[in-house]
Amino acid sequence: MIFQFSYLLLSLALLMVVSIALRGRAARYLTFLFSILVFTFVVSNNMTMTNFSYGSLSILTLSFQLNFVSSVLLILISFVGIYIPLRFKSPPGFYILLQFLLFSLTGIFTTRDFILFYIFWEMVLIPSFFVIGIWGGGNKNYAAMKFFIYTHVGSVFMLLGIFTMYFSEGAVNFSMATLISGMSSIPVAYQSFIIFGFLFAFLIKLPSIPLHSWLPDAYVEAPYEGTVFISSLLSKMGAFGLLVIFSPIFMASSFSGNPSVPIAIVALGVFSLIYSALVALYQKDIKRMMSYTSIGHMSFITIAVGGFLYLNGSDQLASQLLYYGAVFQLISHGIIIALIFSLIGTLEGAAGTRDVMSLGGLGRKLPFLSFLILAAFLASVAIPGFSGFVGEISILLGSYAVLKYYLIFVLAGVVLTASYHVFALQRTIFGPYNEFLGNITARKGELIAAVLPLAIIFFLGIYPGVLFHLFNIHAIQYLGGGK
């Protein structure tokens, strides 16, 4: 096991070095290999909860864990690393940065040491910042700096929370299991700051309203391949933090059983869902409109985490529906949003615009692209038969134990989300064709590449058991501190 993980990390680092040495000429193909190695690592460990450790070096604990949450996210990393080279012919430098990003995310999702976690967390900023700043649109510098400042400020609060835990407990290392298990032994005021610091950092990365304003600018200004990996993967950092780190911290604290914080988290999720849908309705740029879709989808994660902490094990079935639904939502959203933004890129390349008011009737000229857009939007609004339905219905069913009749507000958010998707479809692929667009065509290679994520979305929607067999009762025990 130790050999396998050593092989993975060293191999990923070696591929980046080779890409740089070759001046990026083979970076696109090495990214394929990079992703296959990650996927092979998950499969070779049978996708089970596995702990393994190198021991410790001074105060740094070099320990890792492959649990069912990180397994799902490593699969998502593999998908993005395979799909982007298939879909985009990007500059070699982009693929080197993408490899660096995937390497950092692999570390985030497997490490069980807080300092290592923080280091990998900050490393993700580097490729994201440069992808936006180098290959972004006209307002790229503003978007890149705004993204950097928002996420870095959140990281600082998380680091302060880590040090507060370490010094308050008099710990000898930064092992997550050790520090989390000692939460209740430190003063309540310090516990409050720790909980706030971690929650603040994770909600920014998710993102959740009102900490979301970096997202529309970053998504719109980034090149489409950058938007794909930012939307598919970076939001998962916040979700992973809420599910795997914040939840155990809260449950081990003196606030466990106090409903005020969980209810506030649920309320924030519901508000984010409704607000993002209302704002999206007023957008004319379809890329910016769909950026709010990402906020809406991730709002279900916030609702699930808040509901899970509120129940505190009192309703096992509802707790499992919330937690498992949230994890399923992670990979479902990652694939759906990657498909949506890549299709918008194809649409803009064909029509020369992404203004929904300037489009119309694309189904007459681009029938296959229109079919793909229709399917992607149906998946986004969680129509049965698509993967989006599985995660959202699980969270909705589990949420009833917490919200009761207040669940109507979540359903209102779902209806509003469907409304702007229908509006976008009506203005783009249906209705009379806008003759001012001329005789337009879409690139066949881009359309063929889009079949891969769509096939996965269909497969997971029809046969979700391929992932649910990972979700067992140990996941609930894991939240007690990762032991």
Contacts of 305 (CB under 8 A, 6+ apart): 242, 243, 246, 247, 265, 322, 326
- Residue 22 has a pLDDT of 73
Q: Which DSSP helix (H) or strand (E) runs through 55?
A: strand 50-57
Nearest 5 degrees, angle CA 82-CA 87-CA 93? 75
Put simply, whether the predicted model's pTM sits higher than 0.85 gets the answer yes
- Residue 44 has a pLDDT of 74
- Residue 6 has a pLDDT of 58
- Residue 3 has a pLDDT of 46
Q: What is the pLDDT along the chain (483 residues), one digit of tens a residue?
A: 444 565 676 677 777 777 777 766 788 888 888 888 888 888 777 544 455 554 545 557 677 777 888 889 999 999 999 999 999 888 888 998 998 999 899 989 988 899 999 999 999 999 999 999 999 988 999 999 999 999 999 999 999 999 999 999 888 889 898 999 999 899 999 999 999 999 999 999 999 988 888 999 999 999 999 999 999 999 899 999 999 999 999 999 999 888 999 999 999 999 999 999 999 999 999 999 999 999 999 999 999 999 999 998 888 889 989 999 999 999 999 999 999 999 999 999 999 889 888 888 888 889 999 999 999 999 999 999 999 999 999 999 999 989 888 999 999 999 999 999 999 999 899 888 888 888 888 889 999 999 999 999 999 999 888 887 766 544 444 443 333
- Residue 478 has a pLDDT of 44
Whole-angstrom CA distances from 148 to 127, 140, 230, 294 are 11, 12, 13, 19
* Full DSSP string of 144-196: HHHHHHHHHHHHHHHHHHHHHHHHHHT-SS-BHHHHHHTGGGS-HHHHHHHHH
Q: Which candidate, 328, 123, 158, 147, places its Cα nearest to that of 243? A: 328
* Residue 357 DSSP code: G
Give the tokens for residue 323: 């937690």
* Residue 139 DSSP code: T
Which stretches does DSSP call E strand in 305-408? none
Peptide bond into 210 cis (omega under 30): yes
Query: What residue type is 328 in one-letter code?
Result: F
Query: What residue type is 208 in one-letter code?
Result: S
d(CA 100, CA 115): 19
Give yes or no for a contact between 55 and 4, defined as CB atoms under 8 angstroms apart.
no
d(CA 411, CA 424): 20
Q: Which DSSP helix (H) or strand (E) runs through 17?
A: helix 2-21
Contacts of 176 (CB under 8 A, 6+ apart): 112, 113, 114, 117, 245, 248, 481, 482
| Residue 376: how many other CB atoms lie within 10 Å | 27
Half-sphere exposure of 340 (CA within 13 A, CB side): 29
| Burial class for 188, CB neighbours closer than 10 Å (0-12, 13-18, 19+) | exposed
Listed in sequence order, the DSSP H helices in 22-173 are 27-44, 68-87, 92-110, 114-123, 125-135, 140-169
Give yes or no for a contact between 96 and 227, defined as CB atoms under 8 angstroms apart.
no
Q: Which DSSP helix (H) or strand (E) runs through 62?
A: strand 60-66
| Residue 200: how many other CB atoms lie within 10 Å | 17
- Residue 400 has a pLDDT of 92
- Residue 65 has a pLDDT of 78
Contacts of 139 (CB under 8 A, 6+ apart): 217, 221
Q: Which residues pair with 53 in a beta bridge?
A: 63
Contacts of 296 (CB under 8 A, 6+ apart): 272, 273, 276, 277, 280, 413, 417
